[in-house]
Structure formats: structure tokens, C-alpha cells
């Protein structure tokens, strides 16, 4: 059962990657890919420069290149194996691509170190410049997720309609894990939003008193960012990840299928559609009677 579930999750991630392909043409993705693809050119120029040095013999250069090729094969094999075996564990394509970029840049720096000190310095400067100046972009696509302030959260979620459920994402702006699931939450909101179910997000990193009130840890090592909770009539009905009585935190699975199942979003949507259809039928009959 687990291999089938893993395969289904992996296929779902591939489909989301294809569907979100335009999002991956931004500066973050293009420049990171360009730096990684520059390695072969850097390798060629470094080898050409070394071969021209009078102190480097063809035999020593050949031995160094043979050792380097072994490192390159191991790096490529490790990255490929990691990508294939871990792909299904990522909630969104954004999270998967970001992690692969990190690992690939680490591998490139190791290869640059084996290649030449100057090549390593060039690679380190390029990676550092990308990290500082080109962060991973936030999701800017269609969404029905509403942003809360403490006041609007109190009015809409805590003191709002008893018959309206809220799926609330507690997040912190500095946490990459929160940024990675934004496309997922947007997709869920676009699919399941109705008169009786709405989606919102609250920055508990900005308002820590609300984090404390709702028992969401916002520390740097927190395993609760993001936390997705379902509220109804001001009461919390459930959350992901779940916090046990002994304080332990379950390992979350932030996938569309898992979140929809935990919060019974399909049932809620069907009930809302049935109620809307019944109301429309009554209105039509009342209009006909007049």
C-alpha cells in the first residue's frame, strides 16, 4: 500500500510541476539553474588553464581529472537517487525544486573545491550572491485565501458565523516551509471555498501572542510551521500537524489529498452545494407561485 501511495504522490507532484511551469521561469529558478549549468564551462576553462602551466605534467593532470570524474559521477548519482526516492514527500513543486537546488549547489561547491581553489571561490561567491539577492518568490497565482489581522481573525473566525468553517494556516514569513505550501493552499481554496467554508492565513510570527494562544511554536527549530487548523463556530476541530497530549508532534503530510481527507473537505463541499441547490429550487418555486 505504501509504494502505491508514494507513486501516487510522486505523480501528483509531477502533474503540479507541469501545471505550474510558468511560475518556474522567474529569476530565482532561472539564475539558480544558470549557476549550476555554468559548472561545465568553469571546468573546461580551469582544465585549459592548468594544462598550460609548466609545472603541471600531462600525467598528473590526467590523474586529477580521473579523480574528479569519479566525484562527479557520485554527485550526480546521489542527486538523482535523492530526487527519485524523496520526490513524493514534498508538498509542492516549489519545495522540491528548492531542496534540489540547495543540494545541487552544495555538490557543485564540493566539485569546485576538488577542481581548483579559484573555481571554488567563484562558485562560493555566486552561490552567496544568489542566496542574498534572489530569494525564492512568493506565490502570486489565483487564490481565495484571505489574510487575517488579529482583529479580522477574531471577528471572522472566533466570533463569526457558527455555520461557516474556516481552514486557517498559521505561518511565519521567515519560514521557507510556510512559503512552500502557498501554492497548495491556494489550490485548496480555489477548489473547496464555498458559502460554508472559507480559507485564511494568520502570520503568527508577527503576532506571537496569537501563536501562544493557539499553541503554535514559532521558534527557529519549530516543527509547527506551518500549522493548518479547521475552525467551526470559534472552536478548533483539528489541525495538521497534530500535537499529542505528551507534547510530541506528528510528522505532517502537506498534500492536497491528505488535507482534504483530514478536514473532510469533499463532504463539506457536497453539503454546501446541496444546500445551495435546495435554496435555488425553493426560490424558483416561490417565484413561479407568484
Rounded mean pLDDT, 248-257: 85
The runs of H, that is alpha helices, within the chain are: 2-19, 27-37, 39-51, 58-86, 93-115, 117-133, 150-153, 176-180, 182-192, 208-213, 256-262, 265-289
Q: Which three cell numbers stand for residue 210?
A: 496569537
pLDDT for position 143? 92
Across the range 23-52, mean pLDDT stands at 87
pLDDT tier at 5, thresholds 50, 70, 90: low
pLDDT tens for 71-110 read 999 999 999 998 888 777 777 788 888 899 999 999 999 9
Average pLDDT over residues 9-18: 52
The model's pTM: 0.72
**What pLDDT is stored for residue 286 in this prediction?**
65
- Cα–Cα distances (Å) from 163 to 141, 268, 275, in that order, read 29, 11, 12
> Which pLDDT tens digit goes with each residue over 155-198?
999 998 888 999 999 999 888 888 888 989 999 999 999 988 99
Residue showing cell 511554536: 217
- Per residue in 43-82, pLDDT (tens digit) is 888 888 877 777 777 888 788 888 889 999 999 999 999 8
Q: What is the pLDDT of residue 25?
A: 79
pLDDT of residue 281: 65
**Alpha carbon distance 178, 206 (integer Å):** 14
Report the chain's terminal Cα–Cα distance, integer Å: 58
Mean per-residue pLDDT of the chain = 85
Domain ranges of the chain: 2-133, 145-276
Q: Is residue 3 over pLDDT 80?
A: no
Residue 6 pLDDT level (bands cut at 50, 70, 90): low
Fold of 145-276: Glutaredoxin (3.40.30)
26-27-32 Cα angle (round to 5): 115
The stretch 25-43 carries a mean pLDDT of 91
The pLDDT assigned to 55 comes to 75
What is the arithmetic mean of pLDDT over 140-164?
91
Give which of 210, 213, 191, 158 is closest to 259, Cα–Cα. Answer: 191
Amino acid at each position: 500500500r505504501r509504494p502505491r501511495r508514494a507513486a501516487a504522490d510522486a505523480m501528483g507532484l509531477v502533474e503540479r510541476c507541469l501545471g505550474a511551469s510558468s511560475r518556474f521561469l522567474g529569476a530565482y529558478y532561472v539564475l539558480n539553474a544558470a549557476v549550476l549549468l555554468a559548472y561545465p564551462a568553469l571546468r573546461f576553462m580551469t582544465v585549459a588553464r592548468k594544462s598550460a602551466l609548466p609545472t603541471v605534467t600531462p600525467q598528473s593532470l590526467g590523474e586529477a581529472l580521473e579523480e574528479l570524474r569519479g566525484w562527479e559521477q557520485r554527485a550526480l548519482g546521489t542527486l538523482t537517487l535523492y530526487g527519485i526516492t524523496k520526490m513524493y514527500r514534498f508538498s509542492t513543486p516549489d519545495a522540491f525544486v528548492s531542496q534540489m537546488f540547495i543540494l545541487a549547489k552544495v555538490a557543485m561547491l564540493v566539485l569546485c573545491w576538488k577542481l581548483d581553489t579559484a573555481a571554488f571561490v567563484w562558485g562560493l561567491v555566486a552561490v552567496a550572491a544568489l542566496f542574498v539577492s534572489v530569494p525564492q518568490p512568493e506565490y502570486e497565482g489565483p487564490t481565495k485565501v484571505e489574510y487575517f489581522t488579529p482583529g479580522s481573525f477574531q471577528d471572522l473566525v472566533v466570533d463569526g458565523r457558527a455555520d461557516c468553517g474556516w481552514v486557517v494556516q498559521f505561518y511565519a514569513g521567515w519560514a521557507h516551509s510556510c512559503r512552500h505550501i502557498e501554492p497548495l493552499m491556494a489550490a485548496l481554496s480555489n477548489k473547496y471555498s464555498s458559502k460554508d467554508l472559507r480559507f485564511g492565513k494568520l502570520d503568527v510570527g508577527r503576532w506571537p501572542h496569537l501563536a501562544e494562544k493557539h499553541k503554535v511554536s514559532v521558534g527557529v527549530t519549530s516543527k509547527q510551521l506551518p500549522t493548518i487548523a479547521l475552525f467551526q463556530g470559534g472552536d478548533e476541530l483539528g489541525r495538521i500537524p497534530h500535537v499529542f497530549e505528551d507534547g510530541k508532534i506528528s510528522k505532517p503530510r502537506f498534500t492536497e489529498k491528505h488535507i482534504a481527507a483530514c478536514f473532510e473537505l469533499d463532504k463539506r463541499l457536497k453539503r454546501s452545494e446541496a444546500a445551495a441547490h435546495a435554496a435555488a429550487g425553493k426560490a424558483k418555486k416561490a417565484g413561479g407561485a407568484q
